[in-house]
């Protein structure tokens, strides 16, 4: 049994992907592209939250790949990790920045002079997707389709389309851990553990031979005191964030309950107002009906020659009201 560092931690993930050979191995396996070379820059963003520094880690790669027709192409690969669903908006911001970044254009000898690099996104998720929670690796691959005939348009790429749309790979760590691994890639990625576990036990003899550089690198990470110390810090920050989220959720629940109570009081007050209006309307209707009955009786008595005094006594109408009939 071999103990390796858990790459779900940012510091371990960074340590792992800084090895160019391993980065190339993982990315080529996920994208199923023949990667000839990788140029990468880790992007670390820091934010001060209550005197604690929170860092968010992602890696942007420029990859030179070989296409099916043996031509070469430069593509941009953005790789990110997420522990919470709320990270989706962060992904969108980073992706927008990539599209807007002028450095992601390659000058070519033919028009157009500025060719925007195609983008491929890879996401490692520490939580399950709602619709496909049991699929370890999901590939989102675009297709060119004739809208009228519904036929695929073949393998040729159009730079306009490639510049404005992108493929994605989603790795669901929980699904990899929960399901029997179906291929060598899923077995290799089983080193990711989504819980707060610093070390992962690996049966080295069962680990795919071509992916063993991964566990050798993670073994070094596990033995590195600085890496282990930063993992402890990540745990503290994560626990603090989780406590803050629980507090916010509780406060939101209280606010929501108060809102519902206010709506209930408002609804009951409105119901009482309507009931009073209905009582008032019915009373007014009854009054009008009584007056109409009296008028009808007064007319009938008048036709039979009854005196005004008799009619007043019987109906309660005034002399003026009776004379108008």
Q: Where are the domains of the chain?
A: 2-223, 272-323
Asked if residue 185 lies in contact with residue 137, where contact means CB atoms within 8 angstroms, the answer is yes
The predicted pLDDT at position 126 comes to: 79
- Does 46 score more than 70 pLDDT? no
In angstroms, the CA 122 to CA 94 distance is 13
How far is it, in rounded angstroms, from Cα 190 to Cα 88? 23
Residue 106 — φ and ψ, nearest 5°?
A: -115, 125
Other beta carbons within 10 angstroms of residue 116's beta carbon come to: 19
Tokens of 189: 């990625």
Banded pLDDT at 169 (limits 50, 70, 90): very high
116 has a pLDDT exceeding 50 = yes
Q: Among all chains, which residue has been given the structure tokens 């989780």?
A: 242
Question: What band does 249 get if pLDDT is binned at 50, 70 and 90?
Answer: confident
Q: Rounded to 5 degrees, what angle do the CA atoms 8, 228, 209 make?
A: 55
Residues 263-309 pLDDT 10s: 999 999 999 999 999 999 999 888 888 888 888 888 888 888 888 88
The count of other CB atoms within 10 Å of the CB of residue 302 is 16
18 secondary structure, DSSP code: T
Query: Residue 109 above 50 pLDDT?
Result: no
Q: Residue 108's Cα: distance from chain center in Å?
A: 37
Task: Note the pLDDT of residue 92.
Answer: 65
């Amino acid at each position: 049994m071999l103990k390796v560092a858990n790459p779900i931690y940012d510091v371990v993930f960074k340590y792992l992907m800084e090895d160019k050979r391993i980065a190339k191995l993982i990315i080529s396996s996920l994208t199923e592209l023949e990667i000839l070379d990788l140029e990468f820059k880790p992007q670390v963003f820091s934010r001060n939250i209550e005197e604690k520094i929170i860092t968010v880690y992602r890696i942007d790669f420029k990859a030179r790949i070989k296409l099916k027709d043996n031509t070469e192409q430069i593509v941009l690969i953005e790789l990110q990790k997420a522990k919470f669903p709320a990270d989706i908006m962060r992904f969108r911001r980073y992706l927008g920045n990539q599209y807007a970044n002028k450095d992601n254009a390659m000058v070519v000898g033919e028009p157009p002079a500025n060719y925007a690099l195609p983008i491929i996104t890879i996401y490692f998720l520490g939580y399950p997707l709602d619709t496909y929670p049991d699929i370890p690796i999901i590939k989102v691959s675009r297709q060119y389709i004739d809208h009228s005939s519904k036929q695929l348009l073949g393998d040729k790429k159009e730079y306009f389309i490639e510049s404005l749309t992108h493929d994605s790979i989603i790795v669901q760590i929980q699904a990899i851990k929960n399901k029997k691994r179906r291929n060598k890639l899923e077995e290799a990625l089983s080193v990711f553990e989504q819980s707060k576990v610093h070390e992962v036990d690996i049966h080295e003899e069962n680990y795919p031979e071509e992916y063993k550089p991964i566990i050798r690198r993670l073994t070094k990470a596990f033995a590195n005191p600085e890496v282990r110390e930063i993992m402890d810090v990540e745990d503290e920050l994560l626990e603090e964030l989780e406590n803050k989220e629980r507090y916010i959720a509780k406060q939101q629940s209280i606010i929501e309950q108060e809102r519902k109570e206010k709506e209930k009081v408002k609804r009951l007050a409105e119901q009482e107002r309507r009931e009073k209006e209905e009582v008032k309307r019915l009373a007014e209707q009854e009054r009008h009906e009584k007056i109409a009955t009296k008028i009808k009786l007064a007319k009938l008595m008048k036709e039979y020659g009854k005196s005004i005094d008799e009619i007043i006594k019987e109906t309660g109408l005034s002399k003026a009201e009776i004379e108008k009939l």
